[in-house]
A and B are shown apart, each in its own frame.
Chain A
Amino acid sequence: MDRERTKTLILSLLVILSIMSLHRIWFDSPISLQSEASNGRDQGYTILDTRNQIISPREVTLGFGGSISNNYYTVLNYQETKLVWEKSKLLLLDFFAKEPNVDTVSLDEYFESKQLKSIELEFGKGMPSVLISSVFNTMDNRITNEIRTIKKILIPASNTGSIYILSENENNVYRVSLSEYENTTLEDYITEYDEDKKDFVRYRTTFGFVNNKTLMPIEYKQLLPEIFVESEIDIKEEEIIVRTAKSFFNENFDFVKAIRETSGSIIYLYGYGEKSVRINPQGYLSYNQEMISNSSTNILEALNVALNFIEKHGGIMETAYLSEIKDVSTGSNRGYYFGFNYDIVGYPIANKNTLNQLEIEVYGNDVKSYRRFIREKMNLGSIDHIDTDITPPIQIIEDNLGVMLDYYNKDLENSKTMESTNAKNEPVIDYKIILENVNRVEMVYFDTVEENSMQLIRPSWLIRVGKRIYYFDSYDGKLLYTMIEN
């Protein structure tokens, strides 16, 4: 009898266990997730959410005011940037949704306001005002009518009805003002930040003595580790590679030729190269479609097409932001290029291949090209430099003035050759020209892209002089890479 009871008990336990397992499958099944995502209405919401996520500032600078000689700022990391953007949106909504006055003002007025307590939001290159406006559910307003692109928005903290917008292409500055308006929520945030976080990195207009207003820190006491990353695509995992490639060709995959290059790259070709997918050993994926018959006229629709395509082919990174937008054309067809970058451990990732880690060209409903190279942080811990401070950028610039002046003269010579100018000037020998032309100093994680996995990436200084970008190892100050920005 006891034996029978034990059997029944074991059987009952097995039944319960199988029910629990089935329950888990029902809840976590990718099939159910897929069917959910394919639901048009849900997808609409997903795209809207993703769009609002990626239309956000690439960099936020807090200005703390202070005396003219002791004015300081700080550049926020990813988490803080998101927080300030959410707070700023509440204020900006009034300026986009109401009927403000838009006046052209001087760049001096912009910098005078920046010297007071302020928040500066910097957006991706070529950001159209309509895209920022779409975040506030308004497309036709005074700002979009008067200003085509928005590079920066400056919000004076003691906001008494004015914000400033710096436009990229026109290089114009606008004051956008609302009458009888006051909002000081951001002022409280700045004051609290200054009081609570005493050890933040202070950025200053250090090269003010050559009339350069670029912000850079005099010292950088923050501890930033080196981290290990891996590519999201591992070329050794054939099954995943095939599945990834298949998603681009769908039912035509049976007619696709696969070629493995001696370099280790795999190419999938459809027809006579009408469509191709190439994945290199580092995990860099590029997709191209030759035949384009559509054109885009509405940038918001083009962005939706791009985000839909990305969603189906790898998805968008959690910390991604729109870093570049430009018009493109093929024959008589017109389209849009969207470049995305993302932050890793709070700072933008950079490598020598491109400034944007995810790129897509959209023509109507067609995607002409799609390139993605995504690195993920590995759970291998990190390397902390507890005995070494990060070298301040001023020191790096001073130590590399000779190199920078060499490149400056070389670039000057090349631009003359391109313009077919025969006039030969003597090379510039005064370092001052470099100090005057430094226009960006930013902390990034630079990826040398040598390994698919276990790649160590280091916190690095991006220093831009004119159009030339330099990446320096922030610990030993060595030049890692230099390139001209297009």
Chain B
Amino acid sequence: MIKNKLISCTCVLIILGTAGSFTYATPAIRNVDTTKYEIVKTANQSLQIITPEREQSVSSSTKLVLEFTAPKDTKIKVRVYHNTSIEKGGENYVLINDPLLVDVGILQRGWAEIELKRGSNKIEITAEYKDGTAETVRRYVAVKGVEDVKRRILEGKITSEFLKDITGNK
């Protein structure tokens, strides 16, 4: 009898000792006071991609920041495709992410951090405006390793365009 009690007590103590972590989720609550103030200078009335500015660019990093301006209440959807074609110059873009959704707020500006893959990537940014119309803008980013850049330097294939691409200068 005593033995049984001892075993039960030990079990309870072990359970209490190990139950160190528990979880719960909190719904996001946001208070937006948009009645009194305003952005005096309004953004363009359509989607504008700030970065990457050029339609085609080269990057050495697989992490890229997309920055854009759009009117308030526009819904932005970002899809990233990777070119899986093994043929030189061939195109076979495959979707590589769950579409990222950004609601444009009072700043009329948005950001998204996107993951690219080594090689050619196509970024499709779709804006759904408040009035129901939509617009899609595309950006192509080639991700090259530092070794690729070194090789191009050694082969003397460095053009001013290439340099602008990798430094991000316009």
Interface positions of A (Cβ within 8 A of B): 66-70, 72, 202, 204, 206, 209, 218-219, 225, 379-388, 391, 394-395, 398-403, 405-406, 429-432, 435, 475-478
CB of B37 within 8 A of CB of A431, answer yes
Q: A381-B19, A385-B25 are in contact. Are A399 and B30 (CB under 8 A)?
A: yes
Residues of B within 8 A of A391 (CB): 28
Beyond known contacts A202-B113, A388-B26, A476-B28: 7 more, CB 8 A cutoff: A68-B168, A209-B109, A385-B25, A399-B32, A405-B36, A431-B38, A475-B26
Please name the 10 residue pairs, one residue from A and one from B, whose CB atoms are nearest each other, closest first: A402-B33, A67-B168, A381-B20, A387-B25, A69-B168, A430-B40, A68-B168, A69-B51, A381-B21, A399-B30
- CA separation between A478 and B34, bound complex, in Å? 16
Residues of B within 8 A of A477 (CB): 28-30
Residues of A within 8 A of B27 (CB): 476
- Residue of B30, B36, B52, B166 most packed against chain A (CB within 10 A): B30
Residues of B within 8 A of A475 (CB): 26, 28
A interface SS class: mixed
Closest-CB distance, B92 to chain A (whole angstroms) = 26
Q: List 22 A-B contacts (CB under 8 A).
A: A70-B51, A70-B59, A204-B65, A218-B65, A218-B113, A381-B20, A383-B23, A385-B24, A387-B25, A399-B32, A401-B33, A402-B35, A403-B33, A430-B39, A430-B40, A431-B107, A432-B40, A475-B26, A476-B26, A476-B29, A477-B28, A477-B30
- CA separation between A403 and B31, bound complex, in Å? 10
Q: How many A-B residue pairs have CB under 8 A?
A: 116
B interface SS class: loop
Interface positions of B (Cβ within 8 A of A): 19-41, 50-53, 59-61, 63-65, 105-107, 109, 111-113, 166-169
Determine the residue in chain A with the shortest Cβ distance to B64: A70
Q: A68-B169, A384-B21 are in contact. Are A429 and B40 (CB under 8 A)?
A: yes
- CA separation between A431 and B43, bound complex, in Å? 13
Residues of B within 8 A of A432 (CB): 39-41
Residues of A within 8 A of B20 (CB): 379-382
Residues of A within 8 A of B65 (CB): 69-70, 72, 204, 218
Residues of A within 8 A of B112 (CB): 218
- CA separation between A384 and B32, bound complex, in Å? 27
